[in-house]
Structure 1
């Protein structure tokens, strides 16, 4: 039966009629005849005609929204809070998590946000060398900073300074996304001759700011252009901030009003690194297009190192705990003690050494950790991949409850959440089965694997080696299940690699008073004494707080999230939401993991 051509495009209909008049039975004609009668071709022609008609009318198309991916993530978050046993629900959930579908939404958002405009090349220098070229730029006064070395005033989105060699007023920097940047006519290095017809010769930046303050409406600049120093192309670098910053409290920032405040963990879009000391950045997701000033990596590292050298007995502003020791011993002093002369990292004090069966890297290297100066970490989005879920790593101080949280998470779905079976060199008991409680290997084999870096953590207890292999973690990941680990914090150096891509959650204790109250109310048993069941002592509670502070100081830059374990049920709920997010949402990870 022939397809109805009642609503077909006239041109398509005429073409089909002409084809029928051709007296030929060739395969090409038959194929063309079938193609011209297809509904798909007819639909494409209709879309084409509508677009052409709209363009002829000079109509413009506008997206309904520019954050389709964000809306999808919000929908997925809502789905994570409820479970509906229906085929349609499962089908929609599966569709929204597909990488190709999410990639389409991200592309839609990029187009909707017009993140595709080309950058024009710099204007070539054609001016006569014997004549000074002057440009007149007129801008509308707005709530954007233009400031000097000592003060600032919201004007046009640029900063000025006195050139040290010539003594003239020049544009120090142009803030990306501001009015001056959008004009494309003002560049760093341009010499300011006049502002609103007033000469700035022999004036200070503060004098120029006064002129700008008293200006109304438009502001006219007469500038001598600095050729070869045009606006730089906006960078695409994203970083995770590893410290808090408030420009209002920074006495050295060139213009406080131009500064960008942020908190540890914020994702920043670094748009310019032209200045060795002050970068320009925007918080990722902010609607404000104008960038702000933040300290560069080199500047911030220098500040942190200066603070550490000035006060080597502090851990992030807290008193040092005690000097380093080997992996298999604890600190004996009951009071805070002085660090070693080389200011290496510090271990929590304990009242008396206790024998505990713990696993961690024998080669503890706090010297290396102490030298880490976390400022910014370059990141990129890692999208969920079907059949591969990032391992979830719970790290925290002994006694904080991370192992209990791991057990409870696994208990919610033992088929989905799995912990790797540890390896050991001890002899296998008759009642044991290798691969169930432990994987039993010879000491020689285990020592060789440790030497080859095949274990993410290992330790010795009563003359026998114990450890967790990277291969066992990969085996769980490659089967589509979620590997859950609660290693010693030293294992993070082996775990946080592009090979494993872990999602690290810091389990943090509540304040000391709450810690004592909640554990006492729950009749919690001490994890420091394996020989008997008893309550935590006051000193052990203090050890938990001190050790937690130390872990956060040394490894906080590695953490993706943190959970305050005040109430175990609430902490488990938070952990389940994080586990869902790891499986379903694109997340920021070190850039090297997605290259």
Structure 2
């Protein structure tokens, strides 16, 4: 320990000394030794100690004065009667008259007098005897929505609180709960009024809003859940005609991480985008609702089943909210206007069953069509010694994924490695077993294929070829980065908690740019292994079509996508991504970190 570490926490110092006595431990001990010697950890420990020490003290700080500004004014008045002044007197007089100092003193007095709470009018006293169970709630109206929705109860016809948005003003008050009956708003009775009428009252209100409510006993606010999900589709609440309240909707894009704070409603979850500073949650369709929509869309348009076109998320005709539902947030509001005589769209009890079959490569297309991409529960996977994630490049034939793999490996052959493929063909005299290929008999390879030992395999000119799962695991266990460019149907065998791959979709540019860039680079066709020639226009079209199909069937598995328009730019993006995978915490399926 040098002089710079003399002030380190004694507990950390003792722990570090004990660690030096450990003779073995390998990378774990080395990592812990480096961590204990870091200045950042020592600084955090010191901050922790000071906070704990402050909490343990019995004495608390109290202001000496609560009228510092008044004292200052009295001093200035006294200075007005002084005839003989000195230099110090003049400096003090100027200082006490500065607006910044007076503002600080006024702020001090406001804090000392606790004069920073909202000033609410007195609670109305003219209550009837029968209103013993009525509660009066007053909220200060601001630019922030109130964060609650209302509806007409179908049985009683009364206006009730439909839901309270987590983190909103109503939720933070702790006084408004779902199921509470609304009797009055700002002294105006809501009897025989519609939710739209109540909205008009709220919109015209200024200052404070006073609610008279009949509490719904036993229905207090629920705690926020800790579930995080990755969205597997795009959602725009303004285009959803069936959301109970458009202003309460949360828009998101495919790939966004969402914090699901409430799943109390079977149709509409409450969520926030991870990292957003806005505390009020928004409404998003639940998994069951979105699956029902997608199934309804596929049944209505069978062409989406062939995977040749992207799934359209235009919603079906039936309505999901009743005519009585509307929003109680501040600002311009438009109550729901469902289709007349509409019925609920695919309620939970009648949602079509998703076919459950065991993966069989012979039925791969049928299996893929049954995937309903909505949300995937995720958690953060933190990098640590011994955890090396394979990088999987997937894309249509001819898009350039193999060339990107070769160039990535060439940047650092000691770090990036690809497994040696197996084959049943005869070994040539110029080849070395285990270098270009691992040569085995056809019988042996067929048996290994039957036993599921290959992540992918195929046949060419009567010979079998394949990638061994054991080879992939050997590379991963050696601490190197395994780089793969398999056929897309191998993804389900690769995307497992054991390997935890990072899957990159190599996407072609538009057809026009694809033809232009490949022609300029004198690219050779990968569709013809017999001779070297340029791509045909039909082959370029096949690349686009195949890419769309892969994205349709497997897009929910992709962690990132790279548009391979310019090979050098795509490689640069791939290198940055490869560094991030091994050095930053990333979101992965929750089962991978449990």
TM normalised by structure 1 equals 0.71
With over 3 angstroms needed to count, the CA separation of the structure-2 counterparts of 1:373 and 1:71, relative to structure 1, is: farther
3-state SS, counterpart of residue 106 of structure 2: helix
Separation in structure 2 between the aligned mates of residue 575 and residue 94 of structure 1, nearest angstrom: 63
Separation in structure 2 between the aligned mates of residue 472 and residue 38 of structure 1, nearest angstrom: 38
TM-superposition CA deviations, 1:257-288 (whole Å, max 9, x none)? 00000000000000000000000000000010
Tell which deviates more after alignment, 438-447 or 299-308. 438-447
With over 3 angstroms needed to count, the CA separation of the structure-2 counterparts of 1:27 and 1:90, relative to structure 1, is: farther
Q: Is the 8 A contact 1:359 1:488 kept in 2?
A: no
TM-superposition CA deviations, 1:178-228 (whole Å, max 9, x none)? 001111111111111111111111110001111111111111111111112
Tell which deviates more after alignment, 295-304 or 77-86. 77-86
TM-superposition CA deviations, 1:212-264 (whole Å, max 9, x none)? 11111111111111112111110100000000000000000010000000000
Q: Is the 8 A contact 2:181 2:216 kept in 1?
A: yes
Q: Is the 8 A contact 2:382 2:585 kept in 1?
A: yes
3-state SS, counterpart of residue 271 of structure 1: strand
With over 3 angstroms needed to count, the CA separation of the structure-2 counterparts of 1:345 and 1:573, relative to structure 1, is: farther
3-state SS, counterpart of residue 65 of structure 2: coil
Tell which deviates more after alignment, 38-47 or 573-582. 38-47
Structure 1 residue 433: deviation in Å?
Answer: 2.4
Separation in structure 2 between the aligned mates of residue 426 and residue 43 of structure 1, nearest angstrom: 62
Q: Is the 8 A contact 1:361 1:490 kept in 2?
A: no
3-state SS, counterpart of residue 217 of structure 2: coil
Separation in structure 1 between the aligned mates of residue 136 and residue 203 of structure 2, nearest angstrom: 20
Do structure 1's residue 423 and structure 2's residue 422 form an aligned pair?
Answer: yes
With over 3 angstroms needed to count, the CA separation of the structure-2 counterparts of 1:399 and 1:254, relative to structure 1, is: same
Separation in structure 2 between the aligned mates of residue 431 and residue 86 of structure 1, nearest angstrom: 102
Tell which deviates more after alignment, 293-302 or 113-122. 113-122
3-state SS, counterpart of residue 386 of structure 1: coil
With over 3 angstroms needed to count, the CA separation of the structure-2 counterparts of 1:592 and 1:72, relative to structure 1, is: farther
Q: Is the 8 A contact 1:97 1:584 kept in 2?
A: no
With over 3 angstroms needed to count, the CA separation of the structure-2 counterparts of 1:61 and 1:262, relative to structure 1, is: farther
3-state SS, counterpart of residue 335 of structure 2: coil
Separation in structure 1 between the aligned mates of residue 353 and residue 118 of structure 2, nearest angstrom: 65
Equivalences, count: 585
Structure 1 residue 583: deviation in Å?
Answer: 0.7
With over 3 angstroms needed to count, the CA separation of the structure-2 counterparts of 1:170 and 1:536, relative to structure 1, is: same
Tell which deviates more after alignment, 339-348 or 135-144. 339-348
Separation in structure 2 between the aligned mates of residue 89 and residue 487 of structure 1, nearest angstrom: 84
3-state SS, counterpart of residue 520 of structure 1: helix
Structure 1 residue 462: deviation in Å?
Answer: 2.2
Tell which deviates more after alignment, 584-593 or 32-41. 32-41
Structure 1 residue 322: deviation in Å?
Answer: 38
Separation in structure 1 between the aligned mates of residue 522 and residue 26 of structure 2, nearest angstrom: 88
Separation in structure 2 between the aligned mates of residue 243 and residue 297 of structure 1, nearest angstrom: 11
With over 3 angstroms needed to count, the CA separation of the structure-2 counterparts of 1:532 and 1:111, relative to structure 1, is: farther
Q: Is the 8 A contact 2:357 2:367 kept in 1?
A: no
Q: Is the 8 A contact 1:351 1:539 kept in 2?
A: no
With over 3 angstroms needed to count, the CA separation of the structure-2 counterparts of 1:492 and 1:539, relative to structure 1, is: same
Give unmatched runs, 5+ long, in structure 1.
147-156
Structure 1 residue 534: deviation in Å?
Answer: 0.8
Separation in structure 2 between the aligned mates of residue 27 and residue 434 of structure 1, nearest angstrom: 34
With over 3 angstroms needed to count, the CA separation of the structure-2 counterparts of 1:327 and 1:184, relative to structure 1, is: closer
Structure 1 residue 432: deviation in Å?
Answer: 2.7
With over 3 angstroms needed to count, the CA separation of the structure-2 counterparts of 1:584 and 1:84, relative to structure 1, is: farther
Structure 1 residue 452: deviation in Å?
Answer: 2.2
Q: CA RMSD in A?
A: 19.0
Separation in structure 2 between the aligned mates of residue 576 and residue 186 of structure 1, nearest angstrom: 52
Tell which deviates more after alignment, 553-562 or 63-72. 63-72
With over 3 angstroms needed to count, the CA separation of the structure-2 counterparts of 1:555 and 1:71, relative to structure 1, is: farther
Structure 1 residue 537: deviation in Å?
Answer: 0.5
With over 3 angstroms needed to count, the CA separation of the structure-2 counterparts of 1:326 and 1:42, relative to structure 1, is: closer
With over 3 angstroms needed to count, the CA separation of the structure-2 counterparts of 1:224 and 1:252, relative to structure 1, is: same
Structure 1 residue 426: deviation in Å?
Answer: 2.4
Structure 1 residue 519: deviation in Å?
Answer: 0.5
Q: Is the 8 A contact 1:354 1:529 kept in 2?
A: no
Q: Is the 8 A contact 2:145 2:330 kept in 1?
A: no
Separation in structure 2 between the aligned mates of residue 86 and residue 10 of structure 1, nearest angstrom: 54
With over 3 angstroms needed to count, the CA separation of the structure-2 counterparts of 1:288 and 1:568, relative to structure 1, is: same
Separation in structure 1 between the aligned mates of residue 85 and residue 539 of structure 2, nearest angstrom: 46
Structure 1 residue 523: deviation in Å?
Answer: 0.7
Structure 1 residue 40: deviation in Å?
Answer: 18
Q: Is the 8 A contact 1:423 1:466 kept in 2?
A: yes
Do structure 1's residue 219 and structure 2's residue 218 form an aligned pair?
Answer: no
With over 3 angstroms needed to count, the CA separation of the structure-2 counterparts of 1:517 and 1:194, relative to structure 1, is: same
TM-superposition CA deviations, 1:110-157 (whole Å, max 9, x none)? 9999999999999999999998621111111133446xxxxxxxxxx1
Structure 1 residue 11: deviation in Å?
Answer: 20
With over 3 angstroms needed to count, the CA separation of the structure-2 counterparts of 1:61 and 1:572, relative to structure 1, is: farther
Separation in structure 2 between the aligned mates of residue 121 and residue 358 of structure 1, nearest angstrom: 64
Separation in structure 1 between the aligned mates of residue 76 and residue 359 of structure 2, nearest angstrom: 37
Tell which deviates more after alignment, 313-322 or 246-255. 313-322
3-state SS, counterpart of residue 475 of structure 1: helix
Q: Which runs of 4+ in 1 moved over 4 A?
A: 1-132, 315-362
**1:190 alignment partner in structure 2:** 180
Give the one of 143, 155, 165 matched to 1:175.
Answer: 165
Structure 1 residue 427: deviation in Å?
Answer: 2.8
**2:76 alignment partner in structure 1:** 76
TM-superposition CA deviations, 1:365-407 (whole Å, max 9, x none)? 1111011110000000011121321000000000000000000
3-state SS, counterpart of residue 81 of structure 1: coil
Q: Is the 8 A contact 2:259 2:273 kept in 1?
A: yes
**1:458-473 aligned within 5 A:** 458-473=457-472
Structure 1 residue 434: deviation in Å?
Answer: 2.1
3-state SS, counterpart of residue 145 of structure 1: coil
TM-superposition CA deviations, 1:152-186 (whole Å, max 9, x none)? xxxxx100000000000000000000001111111
Q: Is the 8 A contact 1:80 1:580 kept in 2?
A: no
Separation in structure 2 between the aligned mates of residue 340 and residue 81 of structure 1, nearest angstrom: 81
Structure 1 residue 363: deviation in Å?
Answer: 2.8
Q: Is the 8 A contact 2:145 2:329 kept in 1?
A: no
3-state SS, counterpart of residue 280 of structure 1: strand
**2:387 alignment partner in structure 1:** 388
With over 3 angstroms needed to count, the CA separation of the structure-2 counterparts of 1:222 and 1:500, relative to structure 1, is: same
Separation in structure 2 between the aligned mates of residue 583 and residue 61 of structure 1, nearest angstrom: 48
3-state SS, counterpart of residue 18 of structure 2: helix
Q: Is the 8 A contact 2:263 2:269 kept in 1?
A: yes
